[in-house]
Amino acid sequence: MFSRPSAQPSAPSRVREDMEAVAALERDAQLMLRVREGDEGSFALLLNQHRRPVAHFLFRMVQNQAVSEELAQEVFLRVYRSRASYEPTAKFTTWLYRIATHVALNSIRDRKHERGQESLEEEVVEGVGRQIADLQPNVEHRMVRDARLQEVRKAIDELPEKQKAAVLMHKYQELGYDQISKALGISESALKSVLFRAYETLRARLAHLA
């Protein structure tokens, strides 16, 4: 009926089986499996590799540098605390951004009154706005470019929370539909609908920039 304890695979055997399953598939998952078994060095490698892009994602979500740094620490603290239950059932980045999205949305709901004024981004959403060609930048060109980027940033920030997170992961973090849908806890078809509505809203609001 129940397997005898002696028949269960040992922890090292379980680790070997898990690592064989993800070998040549994803280095990050292998590192996280080592973290699960107490390897602090592997956690340091994951932190070094992913902290900056996660912090950038969080900054775009909350628009406050200090808050985004705090949230990045919270994300990786949750990753570390969840190490014992980690299973490589999806890409590590899918799991990581699911945590980051949850932390960011909670922060937005808790801190709606806090809106930091941060430096403008050098990126725009593809198909929504175009940067002015600026081979020999001057003050006027920079002012116009910054104004356009500010409008794009503001338009993205005004999207509903789930649409905003989907756009940022899709265009800025360049995650695939499968990863984003899992991070948001929705189906791929639902994600496509979310992105369609988001981009239609952005095109309407930023039509004057085209």
User: If you count them, how many residues does the chain have?
Assistant: 210
* Start-end of CATH 1.10.10.10 domains in the chain: 137-210
pLDDT 10s per residue in the chain (210 long)?
333 434 444 555 556 655 555 454 478 999 999 999 999 999 999 999 999 999 999 988 888 888 889 999 999 999 999 999 988 887 899 899 999 998 988 887 776 544 443 333 444 444 554 433 444 455 556 666 667 777 888 888 888 888 898 988 888 887 888 889 888 888 988 999 999 998 888 888 888 776
What's the confidence (pLDDT) of residue 99? 92
> How far is 110 from 115, CA to CA, in rounded Å?
12
CATH classification (class only), 137-210:
mainly alpha
- What pTM did the predictor assign? 0.61
* Start-end of CATH 1.10.1740.10 domains in the chain: 11-110
Within 13 Å of residue 98, how many CA atoms lie on the same side as its CB?
16
Asked if 89 and 25 count as a contact pair (C-beta separation under 8 A), the reply is no
Give CA 94 to chain center in angstroms: 8
Nearest to 68 by CA among 58, 77, 78: 58
Nearest to 97 by CA among 18, 195, 184, 197: 184
| CATH (residue range 11-110) | 1.10.1740.10
Burial class (CB in 10 A: 0-12, 13-18, 19+), 157: middle
Asked if 160 and 202 count as a contact pair (C-beta separation under 8 A), the reply is no
